Structure 1
Amino acid sequence: MDAISFGTDGWRARLDTFTDERVRMVGQAVADYLADTGHDAPVAVGYDARATSEGFAESLADVLAANGFDVLLPERDCPTPVVAWGIVDRDLAGALMVTASHNPPEYNGVKFLPADGAPALPDVTDAIEERLAEPRADGPRGSVERVNLVDSHAAQARELVGPDCEGLTVVYDAMHGSGRGVTDALLESAGTTVICRRCERDTSFGGGSPEPSADHLAGLVDAVEAHDADLGIANDGDADRLAVVTPERGFLDENLFFAAIYDELLEDDSGPAVRTVSTTFLIDRIAAAHGEDVIETAVGFKWVAEAMVEHDALMGGEESGGFSIRGHVPEKDGVLMALVAADAAAAEPLDHRVDRLLDTHGDIVADKVSVDCPDDRKDAVVDALGNTIPDEVAGEGVEKVVTLDGFKLLLTDGSWLLVRPSGTEPKMRVYAEAGSRERVDELLAAGRDLVESHL
């Protein structure tokens, strides 16, 4: 039991720790949690494209069924947001999703999604952890049924977006993950011409990680140019996040994508934006220009989702590529957002909109680095940082300290530096935003030095 811990987005571990025995204990804990909180509706168990995921999902289904729950298993591996929408669409008690998202193939993970389809908050995951126990049978056995969850999600996405993508050409990169045959099919159903890359299942993800970062998407950038495409889109391993490539910029910084889509949505609608503490202030400038508010949260889409519901937000997102919009299940959705991106690009090239936003609101450059830090050292490093906040960073005074998640230092020149512990890896994250690449590099170097001085 000590090896099982739910972090920012569920429990993830290497396969020498993430064993069938422990997975079954999670299944029993979820069964007990649901029973104790008065839920008796069916439960979905989804899984990603990893070699071990379907087997783990079947084990979870077996435990839940042994505890009297009817269980729905997808017909094949599928995206996390498809499972999340299935909860709401089918009025389920919740779902378990077997996925390690963007982590390399030697990892796997599992997370619980409650009845609203949103990421589970700490009070829920704490309650599940408290119930970890050996599996047992409890009363009549439930059924296990294979179902199609993809079609209803696609219908919801098309109804919500109302896309008009005729004449648009998109190169789609599934990174061998669960978006293959799902995101590309949704785009094609909206009239988009789709050219696929890495849309075959490969449980080794081509020898890397299904992480849609700039250094993993050089081939997508080349393909957009080679095919004279209007847009490139990539999903991570479980397709809850996306990355976008444009003809002029190549890899489009996720902060700029957020800004472009929020600005486009505000042309026909209104409402605040929700962003994490690590996400660009450009969102704030766009919101202010439209008379809207911005709600800042800790890192982790569970906090974004909670705030989106509370404030009826038009859009919520984080700089790591997780986004959702009003009217949808409050979970990041890289499949839906691919359709939103295509629809926006069909109306106006994203490069043009980004150029206009930067001309209006000023240049924004953001980046991040990671510093290795064992999990058992993170609290000590954070405590040490809290006791030694500098008066200035890279030559600029510290005007304000935000402690929503780690320490965000707002500087007198309008730039900022954030240091926080990773919730998924043994690392400390250092983020910075400023008006130039040079200034961001200075801030990141200063942040790295600050962390390393306390390791």
Structure 2
Amino acid sequence: METINFGTDGWRATLEEFTVPRVRMVGQAVATYLADEGLEGPVAIGYDARESSPEFAEELTRVLCANGFDVLLPERDRPTPLFAYGIVERDLAGALVVTASHNPPEYNGIKFISGDGAPALPEVMDAIADRLAEPEQHPRDSHGSAREVDFVSPHADHALGLAGADLEGLTVAYDAMHGSGRDTTDTLLEQAGASVDRLRCDRDPDFGGSPPEPSPEYLEELTERVQSGDGDADLGIANDGDADRLAVVTPERGYLDENLFFAALYDYLLEDGSGPAIRTVSTTYLIDRIGEAHGEDVHEVPVGFKWVAQGIAEYDALVGGEESGGFTIDGHVREKDGVLMALVAAAMHAEEPLDDRVDRLLAEHGTVVQDKISVACPDHEKARVLSDLEDEIPEAIAGTDVEDVNTADGFKLLLSDGSWVLIRPSGTEPVLRVYAEAEDDDRIAALLEAGEDLLAEFV
């Protein structure tokens, strides 16, 4: 049990630790939790494109069925957000998805999505962790049943109605990165009228030798398709391994920083809607400037989409997102959805080129640059490092006074020139993250170096 540690978004580990017996224990813990809470509805069990994922999903199905739960399964690996929507659409007790998201193929994981279609909050995951145990034996006449259902069509119909997208005449280059977005995101874009140029839309459990992480260094071919100048693609879109996040590539900028996409998204939604935005502590203040210009509030929450989801519910928000590429909008489930957001991104671009919208926003609200680095730190050392750092917060960073310190998630040092540095532990990897936001790249480099130097005293 000591090797099953629930992080920001469930349990994730290498296949040396992520074994069938431990997966079965997690399944039993979820079954016990649901039973203790009086939740008797069916449970969805999904999985990603990794070689080991179907087997682990089958083991979870056996355990849930043995505990009396009916299980609904997809016909193949499908994106995580489809199961979040399926929970609400089918009134399910919850969902388990076997996925390690953007991690390399030697990892796997389990995400638990609550009965409201949102990521489980820590108290729920703690309750599940407390119930880790060997699977229980129950009489066969009390077992539930398992059957395949269509999770794709209901989500697609909902997304098309919500986005209201007419993409006729638009060509989108779509990169599935060999993940579960293939034949889902690209098909949805075609249903909305777009022509789709497909990249890595075949299943490869090894993801072509690179992790299914939609970051610039892994999207070079997609960027080339959009920026080649031959006009073959108007926009590029990529999903991560389980397609709950997205990346966007534009003709002028290439890889579009997720903070800038969030800003463009909020601006787009405010054309016909109203309401606050929810952003994480690591996400740009440009969102706040846009909200203020429209008379809307912006609320900051800790990193992790569960906190974004909680904020959306608390403040009836128009949009929620994070700088790592996870977003959802009003009218949808409170879970990040890279499939829906691909459709919305294309609709935005069809209305006004994303580069033009971003240029306009930066001209109106000021230039913003953000970047981050990772500093290696074993998981068991993270709490100690942060405790030591708490007593050594400097009065200035990179020559600029520290005006305030936000401790909602790690330490966010707010500087007198409007820039900031954030130091926080990763919930999925053995690293500490150092983020910085400022007005230009040189200033960002100086702030990140100062943050790394500060951590060097303790790591």
Bucket of the pairwise TM-score, normalised by the shorter protein? over 0.9
1:120 is aligned with what amino acid? Answer: A
| SS of the residue 2:6 aligns to | coil
Q: Does 1:405 align with 2:406?
A: no
Q: Which segment drifts farther, 220-229 or 355-364?
A: 220-229
| Structure-2 residue corresponding to 1:40 | 40
**Aligned partner (choices 166, 177, 180) of residue 178 of structure 1:** 180
| Structure-2 residue corresponding to 1:133 | 133
Deviation, structure 1 residue 218: 1.2
| Structure-2 residue corresponding to 1:222 | 224
Note if contact 2:102-2:242 (Cα within 8 Å) is conserved in structure 1: yes
Measured in 1, the distance between the counterparts of 2:195 and 2:418 equals 42
Q: Does 1:267 align with 2:271?
A: yes
**Aligned partner (choices 422, 426, 432) of residue 422 of structure 1:** 426
Measured in 2, the distance between the counterparts of 1:453 and 1:154 equals 51
| Structure-2 residue corresponding to 1:243 | 247
Measured in 2, the distance between the counterparts of 1:404 and 1:193 equals 44
The superposition leaves residues 354-399 of structure 1 with CA deviations (integer Å, 9 ceiling, x where unpaired) of 0000001111100000000011110111001111010000010001
Deviation, structure 1 residue 147: 1.3
| Structure-2 residue corresponding to 1:162 | 164
| Structure-2 residue corresponding to 1:16 | 16
| Structure-2 residue corresponding to 1:258 | 262
Q: Which segment drifts farther, 132-141 or 192-201?
A: 132-141
Measured in 1, the distance between the counterparts of 2:369 and 2:227 equals 24
2:166 is aligned with what amino acid? Answer: D
Measured in 2, the distance between the counterparts of 1:374 and 1:293 equals 37
Deviation, structure 1 residue 167: 0.9
Measured in 2, the distance between the counterparts of 1:63 and 1:255 equals 41
2:286 is aligned with what amino acid? Answer: L
1:192 is aligned with what amino acid? Answer: A
| SS of the residue 2:7 aligns to | coil
| SS of the residue 1:177 aligns to | coil
Deviation, structure 1 residue 225: 2.6
| SS of the residue 2:212 aligns to | coil
Deviation, structure 1 residue 230: 1.4
Deviation, structure 1 residue 451: 1.0
Where in structure 2 are the equivalents of 1:442-453 lying within 5 Å?
Answer: 442-453=446-457
Deviation, structure 1 residue 91: 0.5
Measured in 1, the distance between the counterparts of 2:240 and 2:401 equals 38
Where in structure 2 are the equivalents of 1:182-221 lying within 5 Å?
Answer: 182-221=184-223
2:387 is aligned with what amino acid? Answer: D
The superposition leaves residues 38-83 of structure 1 with CA deviations (integer Å, 9 ceiling, x where unpaired) of 0111101000000000110010000000011000111100000001
| SS of the residue 1:51 aligns to | coil
| Structure-1 residue corresponding to 2:341 | 337
**Aligned partner (choices 313, 319, 324) of residue 320 of structure 1:** 324
Q: How many residues align?
A: 455
1:3 is aligned with what amino acid? Answer: T
| Structure-2 residue corresponding to 1:276 | 280
Q: Which runs of 5+ in 1 are unaligned?
A: none
Question: What is the TM-score when the length of structure 1 is the normalising length?
Answer: 0.99
Deviation, structure 1 residue 421: 0.5
| SS of the residue 1:151 aligns to | helix
Where in structure 2 are the equivalents of 1:105-116 lying within 5 Å?
Answer: 105-116=105-116
| SS of the residue 1:224 aligns to | helix
| SS of the residue 1:137 aligns to | coil
Measured in 1, the distance between the counterparts of 2:252 and 2:411 equals 35
Identity in percent: 67
| SS of the residue 1:12 aligns to | strand
| SS of the residue 2:334 aligns to | coil
Measured in 1, the distance between the counterparts of 2:218 and 2:38 equals 45
Question: What is the TM-score when the length of structure 2 is the normalising length?
Answer: 0.98
2:355 is aligned with what amino acid? Answer: D
| SS of the residue 1:234 aligns to | strand
Measured in 2, the distance between the counterparts of 1:174 and 1:450 equals 38
Measured in 2, the distance between the counterparts of 1:305 and 1:389 equals 31
| SS of the residue 2:41 aligns to | coil
Measured in 1, the distance between the counterparts of 2:355 and 2:381 equals 42
The superposition leaves residues 310-334 of structure 1 with CA deviations (integer Å, 9 ceiling, x where unpaired) of 1110000000000000010000000
Superposition RMSD on alpha carbons, in Å?
0.7
Deviation, structure 1 residue 407: 0.2
Measured in 2, the distance between the counterparts of 1:176 and 1:101 equals 12
| SS of the residue 1:68 aligns to | coil
Measured in 2, the distance between the counterparts of 1:321 and 1:449 equals 28
1:152 is aligned with what amino acid? Answer: P
Measured in 2, the distance between the counterparts of 1:451 and 1:102 equals 26
2:398 is aligned with what amino acid? Answer: A
1:313 is aligned with what amino acid? Answer: A
Measured in 2, the distance between the counterparts of 1:312 and 1:75 equals 35
Deviation, structure 1 residue 432: 0.2
Measured in 2, the distance between the counterparts of 1:263 and 1:155 equals 25
Q: Which runs of 5+ in 2 are unaligned?
A: none
Note if contact 2:47-2:77 (Cα within 8 Å) is conserved in structure 1: yes
Q: Does 1:305 align with 2:309?
A: yes
Measured in 1, the distance between the counterparts of 2:366 and 2:379 equals 38
| Structure-2 residue corresponding to 1:379 | 383
Note if contact 2:117-2:333 (Cα within 8 Å) is conserved in structure 1: yes
| Structure-2 residue corresponding to 1:392 | 396
2:340 is aligned with what amino acid? Answer: L
1:83 is aligned with what amino acid? Answer: F
2:273 is aligned with what amino acid? Answer: D
Deviation, structure 1 residue 2: 0.8
1:195 is aligned with what amino acid? Answer: D
List structure 1 runs of 4+ shifted beyond 6 angstroms. none
| Structure-2 residue corresponding to 1:366 | 370
1:323 is aligned with what amino acid? Answer: F
Note if contact 2:227-2:250 (Cα within 8 Å) is conserved in structure 1: no
1:196 is aligned with what amino acid? Answer: R
